Each structure stands twice: as structure tokens, then as C-alpha cells.
Amino acid sequence: MDDNEKNTTGPTRRLLLQGMGAVGASALLPGAAFAQQKSIDGLMVNGILGGPLRAMIEGPTGVKVNDGPFVSSTDNVAKLMAPGGGTRYDLFIGVSEFSRNPVLGAGPGKERGLAFDPAKVPNLKDLSAIARDDLGTRDGKNYIVPVYWGYDMALYNKDHVPENDPLTQSWGLMFSEKYAGRIAWYDVPHQMIMVAGLHMGLKEPEKASASDLAEITKFLISKKKNVRAIWTTFAQAVNLMASGEVVVSYGWIPMRVALQKRGFNITNNWPSDGLLIWSHGAYIPKDSPKGNEAQAVVNAMLAGEYGAALTRETGYLSGSVAAEKLLSAEEKKAAGYDVRERGIKTYSLKWPSDLSRWVEAWGKVKSA
Amino acid sequence: MHSALMGTTSRSWGVRRPSAAWLAVPAALWLILFGLAPIAFMLAMSTWTSDIFGMTATWNLDNYRRFWEEPLYISVLFTTVRVALTCTVLSLLISYPLAWFLAERRGRAKAILLILVFVPFWTSYLIRTFVWLPILGRNGIINDLLLRIGIINQPLEWLLYNEGTIYLGLVYVYTLFMTLPVYVSLERLDRSLIAAASDLGARPFRIFLRIVLPLSMPGVLSGSVMVFLLSAGAFVTPQLLGGPSAIMFGNLIAAQFLNNNNWAFGAALSMILIVVVMLFVFVVGRRMGLQRVFLGEGV
Amino acid sequence: MRGFPTMSRWSLALWLYAGLFFVVLYGPLLTLVVFSFNDGEVVALPLRGFTLKWYRAIFGMPELLASLANSFILGILSGAISTALALGLALAFRRDFLLKSLLLRLVLLPIIVPGIIGGVVLLLFFGYFNVPFGLYTTVLIAHINWALPFAFLTLYPRLHRFDRSIEEAAMDLGARPLRVFTRVVLPMITPAILATFLFSFTLSFDEFIRTIFVLGGERTVPIQVWTLIVEQIAPFLPAIGVVIMVISVSASLLGALVAGGVGRRGRA
């Protein structure tokens, strides 16, 4: 075992796992096929491979996905752009908007991503309208393929917050005096500032000028006194709502799903000032040696079976119409596939014109 | 207990003593390659510019200028130093009596107690930080207890999500780094000095001030430097426990890499923190000599 | 201890203080244990009854067990290498040599660099030179960087205290340096070496901040814990904490026993 320091995963890990077989979990032994199996290293929200979902990807493609510790979409981009980024991971999935510029590069010929081959990803034909809007394209070639989409909203506890209150159905809920001391924000600049901008009535918050940004900063600072905590991780947010520490929180879809599955009377609002919509797009580093395997995985993610299961398991909405066909009308409504039809104002998450200033502004909000 | 004569270089009678300096070479090489070189590299990178398309080697001081011009950064730097110093002092006050207590014990009890002090530090520090949430929260254990007993009518809000909680969290995870060096220093203390002083009529407090404290200084300084260093770089604890106004320099740096792609700026901020921290160590080292601080008795 | 009426007042206060200290130190850990058996869906009050399901869940999680294995191996490797490097340093430091104080500053450098920067610095460095990120490449290096100064600081004082007259006597009697080292010095400093190794192992086992920046596809235990927190509600988190604690404590106690036993045998 000691002379295998450089030879990372295969033999060493297998030996160890077999040694621990005493624990009795047959699931431990990946089998002798482990070392020879096709595999890719990916960085994506780990939840999209949870439960039954992993088998739906690895089964049909025969490719094992080693998903690394996902930190954030911007961290993904950072890893892609790090010198040598092409060698670390074979597949990234992150917010399409944030990945667009880095992946496409400054101009033709400067792309960092691999152009998707329609022959290798036949399910591209099933892309839904919302997904199509977010494709990362140049010269007719796709470099970013949205695999699923979602939206951010405010979660609220129905036991304490009335559903039909116009305040509840707006982003104002997160800034209100009414629930002072029982509100939680999300510790991410671009989303919080975006939401504040939407609430303040800015037409295109991502293009906020320096003075607009200063206004938003002042606004956020003034409302901070109503905030109990600012969360960074899923578990924190869920615990904040579930333990009753807060009754309103910035939230993600999987949180709503997780809380509801466990019987909590918590749901999301549909903000009248603009539901924040985003998609997660898949992109492959240009020089990845496993481009084919990665594309096969993306293809499997656009399959109907996976997409429908994704919605049922995590609440994320598949970018494939094939998935929509496999869901009941009720499931689709609960998930929000029909947001555009329902007349809910949506706003696509956009990359801020100067993220560094936004990050700085958020720092000011927090240090005030 | 060995006497304090160890510092002397022993000259043997005519026997050639081979120098063992070459033994340090592997470690030195390692440190140069993986310790110094990356930092030098980061220094270079701090003079480059990051934008949405990547990093370009512009070789200018723009990043540092931004640090200087935007009041946010200096303000947070001050806060960070203040918090780190406070943590250090708190940690010292908390650890010192315990270190003395440990040093006083004998034999098996001592070994057991030492292990008992160590054990909590073998739990993941993340989990040890998280666990404060269900304890201090509005519906947490402490509030629940106090409500049941009837001491309070409403849950205490101030237990969690403020600067005090940061102190609690940091001191809790870093106490061992202070307790251990102080304990080692106190253990080496010659008890006969104390006995002699009290024989001569000195009161306990005076003995402490004039004999014990000065002799334990190496341990105190060593532990203080450690805790200061660790606290100055904290970013998970303030984020988790500190509430809406908790931001330390480590958070600012992290934001450049996790929320943004401004690596060059992150590199500049990192260099600044390193310099500030080094200044602190230098100042302390000046008083006592760096080698004494870290290695205890005279080297 | 000299009998003093006032002394015993201080003594009592000290005992009370120590008691309080341990209560606060162990309180959260006890909380952890209690919650690990709690049949609730989130780590919060109220307590809903006793269950073993979280422990059962952990043992059915291959990723978690894999990360445990990873952390173990990594800890042993980085502990061994750190200790070896530190030993060389400590032995060399017994005497003065050229650039000694400069080298000391170099040794302390990784400690002075605050956690997150320590990780970032390596991310930039390794990324630029296309070093493949992995458990036994970049992460190992990051862990050794972190452990080496501590290993040195632990080992050096013990080596320094070592009574050299025995060593010199052996040399005077004509024994060659290497023999003196293996037959005289080594047996007597073995407990110190073991203690250093254990300490380095512990540091590596719990290392998180640097690791997350230089990780490849595999995870160590702290990273796995972090991933669980980031991605899920993780009500089994307390159970994981307890398991980690039990493993670490057992390993350290075992090591301490061995070190103590060897020490006793080693002493002439």
C-alpha cells in the first residue's frame, strides 16, 4: 500500500474498502470492475445524483461519475479558469449565466469549453424553451447546455406568515419590519443584491450603476437589523426554518422539498417583483480527455426518465420536455414548470456588470 | 526534571562531532518548494489583474490601491485584529488556571486529565462549531432549560448570532493551543522557588505575579501567538455563529474565490493579512526572541 | 504542598474552576451524543425519542466510509512524512549552523499563513504548474505543510531536553555516530516521535480549510462533513461527529499506550 502513493484511487481504495467489508455493507464493494470502468470527475450540485438518480445516469451510459465537493457555481468557474483547469475535472455543471463569459471566452477561438457534438448528445432536441434561452452558443455551436433550471424564492412558515398577504408574495418579505428578528438572508452577494434591486423597482438590477449600487447597499444596511442570521449552507438554512429560529428565509427549491417531505408547514412564495430564475448548464473543459464520456452523461441528464425523477427527488426542473411529459399535471404545477403560463413575473438571473463591486458592496452590508 | 543547563553546546574532549546540519536539508527543501515558492508566486499574482475572462499579468499595484482606497477593507482588517487579540486574551485567561491545575497534579491523574483535555479536539472542528447552534438558539437547549426552570419568560436572543458567539466558538476550538504550551511551561517550573518564597512570607498572589507568571512567559507567548494566528485567519466560525454583522478578513478573502473570480485581488488581500500577522509575530518575537517563543527555553 | 490556610482557599477555587472548565468543554460533546440518538428530522429540540437509525445510516453510506479510509491513510502518510522531516530538523537544530534562524522562520511559515490562504496559495501554485490534484499529491502536500511546523515544535523541546552526556559517553567510547543514534538516542526519543506522529495524524485528520481548495475528486472526512452540510439537512451529522471522535480517541489512546510501553522498555 505504501508504494502506491501516486497511484491514487483504484487499487489502494479497493483494498481498503474490501478490508472494511466487515462492516457488512455489500454496497461498499464496487467490484472488480471498478478499476477498469469508464469514469469522469465532475463538479456539480451533488444532490442531482442522489438517491435513485445516480443509477439513471451511470446505468445507461456505463460511465461512473465521481462528483467532487461542490462549493458554488463561481467556484466551478474559478477551477475551470485556474491555470491547468482542464485537467482537474471533466464535467462542470453550474449557473449558466455565470459560466457564460469564462466558458465562451473573450472571442472566437478563445473558448475554454468543449463544443457539444449533437451526434453525441441527441437529447439536445428535447430542450425546453426556458433551457434553450440559456444555451451558451457561439457560431452555431453549443458550449453550455442547460440541464435543469430552478428559481430562488423566500421560504416562509405558514404557521406564522399568512399566505395571501401581498407582503408575503413579494421580496419585501425578506426586508419587512413585521417579522423582525425572524428573517434569514443568504450569504451570497449577487443574489441578495439582485433581489434587493428587484424589490426596489430597478428595471435591470444587474446593470446597476455605482450610485444605484450605493442605494441598494444603503437599503440592505437599513434592513439588516431585522435579520437574525445569514446562512451559507443548506443545512444551516433548513435548520433555521425547521427549528423555528426564523420564519422567513431566502431559500432554494431543494430546501422547500426537504422541509415539506419532513412534514414542516413551509412553502415558497411567488414574488410579484420578480421570481429569480436561473439554469444550471453543463460545460466540459476543452482539453478534457474524457469529452465523449462527459457528453454521454449530459445526454443521460436530458433523458425523460432522469428529468422526471430529478423533479420528484430534488424539485429542480428538468431542461428537457421529455421529462415534463412523464410528470403529472399536479407535479408540474407544484414544481413550477408553468411559471410563465401562470403570469408570474420572472427575472432571469444575470451576471452583474461588475461583480467585484457587488462583492464589495455585500462586504459593506455585512460589516455595517 | 532536567536542569536548565541544556542550552550549552557541549564540547567533548577531542572527539570529532559530526555536524548534523545536513539532516535539516530534506525539510528545508520541502519548505522552500512548497512553503516559500507558492507564497512568492501569490505575491506575483497579487500584481496581476483578474476579470471575467481570466487573469492577465499586468504587474501593477491596482489591487493594493483598491485595498487602500476603499474603507471597507481597512475597517474589516482592524476588526479582525481586534477580534483575534480579544480571543487570545480570553483564551489565555481561560487556559491559564487550567494549565496550572494540570501542572499541579501527579502521576496517573495527570495523564488521565491531560487526555481528557485532548479528547474534544479529536472531534471535527466543523461539527464542534455547528453544535453550538442547537445549544444557543432561540429554541435551543439553554433557552429550553432556562424557560422550564422559570428564570426567564422569553427565550434569550443574545446567546447566538453576535460577536460574543464568535469568541465562544473560536476560544472553544483553539483553547488547546494555549493550554498546552502554558502547561508545559508551568510544569517545568521549579516548585522549590515557590516554596522558598512562601517560606519567606510572600502571599500567594505576589508569588504568582513575581515568580510564576514571568517564568511561564515562554509558554504564554507561544500559546498567544498560536491562538492569534488561528483566530486572525478564521472565516468559518464567524460565518456560522456570528450573525449578520460578522465579517472578518478571512471572509473577505474567501469571497474573492468563492463568490467571485477575482483571484488577483484575493491574492493581494491574502498578502496583506500575512504581512499583518507577521508583524504581530515579529513584535512578540522581538521581546522574547523568536526561538524562545516557539521553542520554550533558550535555544 | 505546604499547608497554608489561604492556599487551600485558592486550591478549592482552582478545583471548582477546573470542574467548570470540563463541563463547558464536554457539554457540547454530550449534546452531540444526545442528538445522535435523537429521532428528529433536524438537529434541534425537541427531542423525539431514541433511535439508532442515524448510526445505521452512516454505516450504509459508502462515501462516508470511503472518506474515513481516505482520511486514515492520508493521516498516516502525512504524519509519517511530517515526523520524519521534523526529526531531521530537530536533530540538526541541536547545534548552531549557518542560516539556522532563517530556517526557523521558514519552518514557522506555514503556521503564520492563515488557514484559508494556505489553501489558496497551493491552489494557485499547483494549478499554474498543472500538478494533478489528488489525495496523495496536492492534499498530502497541504497536510504535510500544515503538520510539519507543529511536528517540529512538539519534537524539538523533547529532543532538546535529552541528556546528551550518554550520547557523548558512547561516542567517547568509540561508537560511530550512526550506531550511537540507533542504539542510544532513538530508543529514548521513541515516545516523543510517536507522540509527534500522533499529533500530526490528528492535525491531518481534522484539516479542512486548506484541503477544500486543493482537493481532487476524493474526499476526506472533514470535506465529506462539509459536503453533507452544504447539500443536505444532515440530521446524521451528530452521529458522524461521535463516530469520528470515537475513532480518533481510540487511535490516540492506543498510540499513547504503545508510546508509554515502548518508553518504559526503552529507558535504560
- Interface partners of B (3+ CB pairs, < 8 Å)? A, C
**Of residues C62 and A146, more confidently modeled:** A146
Q: Is the distance from CB of B74 to CB of B66 less than 8 angstroms?
A: no
Q: Is the distance from CB of B135 to CB of C245 less than 8 angstroms?
A: no
The three-state (H, E, C) secondary structure of chain C, written as one string: CCCCHHHHHHHHHHHHHHHHHHHHHHHHHHHHHHHHCECCCCCCCCCCCECCHHHHHHHCCHHHHHHHHHHHHHHHHHHHHHHHHHHHHHHHCCCCCCCHHHHHHHHHHHHHCCHHHHHHHHHHHHHHCCCCCCHHHHHHHHHHHHHHHHHHHHHHHHHHHCCHHHHHHHHHCCCCHHHHHHHHHHHHHHHHHHHHHHHHHHHHHCCCHHHHHHCCCCCCHHHHHHHHHHHCCCCCHHHHHHHHHHHHHHHHHHHHHHHHHHHHHHCC
Q: Is the distance from CB of A255 to CB of A237 less than 8 angstroms?
A: yes
User: In the prediction, which pLDDT does B80 show?
Assistant: 94
For residue B128, what are the domain limits?
Answer: 71-298
pLDDT of C185 higher than 90: no
In a domain, B51, yes or no: no
Nearest to A363 among B53, B133, B255 (CB): B255
ipTM of this predicted structure: 0.81
Nearest to A88 among C66, C216, C231 (CB): C216
Residue ranges matching CATH 3.40.190.10 in chain A: 3-27+35-149+278-335, 151-276+345-367
User: In the prediction, which pLDDT does C258 show?
Assistant: 65
Task: Give tens-digit pLDDT for A212-235.
Answer: 999 999 999 999 999 999 998 888
Please give the Cα distance from C49 to C40 (Å, whole number).
Answer: 8
In a domain, B48, yes or no: no
Q: How far does the CA of residue A2 sit from the closest CA of chain B (Å)?
A: 20
Task: Give tens-digit pLDDT for B1-32.
Answer: 333 333 334 444 444 455 677 888 888 899 99
Percent pLDDT > 90 in chain B is 24
User: In the prediction, which pLDDT does A25 show?
Assistant: 34
pTM listed for this prediction:
0.81
User: In the prediction, which pLDDT does B192 show?
Assistant: 85
Q: CATH number of the domain at A151-276+345-367, please? A: 3.40.190.10
Identify the structural domains of chain C with CATH numbers, from first to last: 61-267 (1.10.3720.10)
A236 contact residues in B (CB cutoff 8 A): 133, 240
Q: How far does the CA of residue B66 sit from the closest CA of chain C (Å)?
A: 19
Q: How many CB pairs under 8 A join B and C?
A: 264
Percent pLDDT > 70 in chain C is 89
In DSSP terms, A136 is beta-bridged to A144
User: In the prediction, which pLDDT does B294 show?
Assistant: 62
A6-10, A188-192, B15-19, C259-263: which has the minimum mean pLDDT? A6-10
What does B137-155 look like in DSSP terms, one character per residue? STTSHHHHHHHHHTS-SS-
In a domain, B274, yes or no: yes
Tell me the fold of A3-27+35-149+278-335: D-Maltodextrin-Binding Protein; domain 2 (3.40.190)
Nearest to B70 among A78, A236, A360 (CB): A360
pLDDT of A136 higher than 50: yes
In a domain, B54, yes or no: no
A83, C129: Cβ pair inside 8 Å?
yes
Please give the Cα distance from B194 to B190 (Å, whole number).
Answer: 8
Please give the Cα distance from A57 to A39 (Å, whole number).
Answer: 12
Q: How far does the CA of residue C237 sit from the closest CA of chain B (Å)?
A: 8
User: In the prediction, which pLDDT does B6 show?
Assistant: 37
Q: How far does the CA of residue C60 sit from the closest CA of chain B (Å)?
A: 21
In a domain, B15, yes or no: no
Q: How far is CA C205 from CA B153, C244, C247, in A?
A: 43, 9, 11
User: In the prediction, which pLDDT does C228 show?
Assistant: 74
The three-class DSSP label of residue B156 is: coil
Pull the grid cell for residue B100: 496550572
pLDDT of A1 higher than 50: no
Task: Give tens-digit pLDDT for B173-183.
Answer: 998 888 888 88
In a domain, B32, yes or no: no
Residues B45-64, mean pLDDT to the nearest whole number: 84
Q: Is the distance from CB of A42 to CB of A68 less than 8 angstroms?
A: yes
For residue B271, give the CATH number of its domain: 1.10.3720.10
User: In the prediction, which pLDDT does B51 show?
Assistant: 76
C22, B116: Cβ pair inside 8 Å?
yes
A183-197, B200-214, C23-37: which has the minimum mean pLDDT? B200-214
User: In the prediction, which pLDDT does A211 show?
Assistant: 92
Q: Is the distance from CB of B167 to CB of B242 less than 8 angstroms?
A: no
- What total number of domains does chain B contain? 1
| Amino acid residing at A146 | P
Question: By the CB < 8 Å criterion, does C148 face chain B?
Answer: yes
What average pLDDT does the structure give for chain B? 83
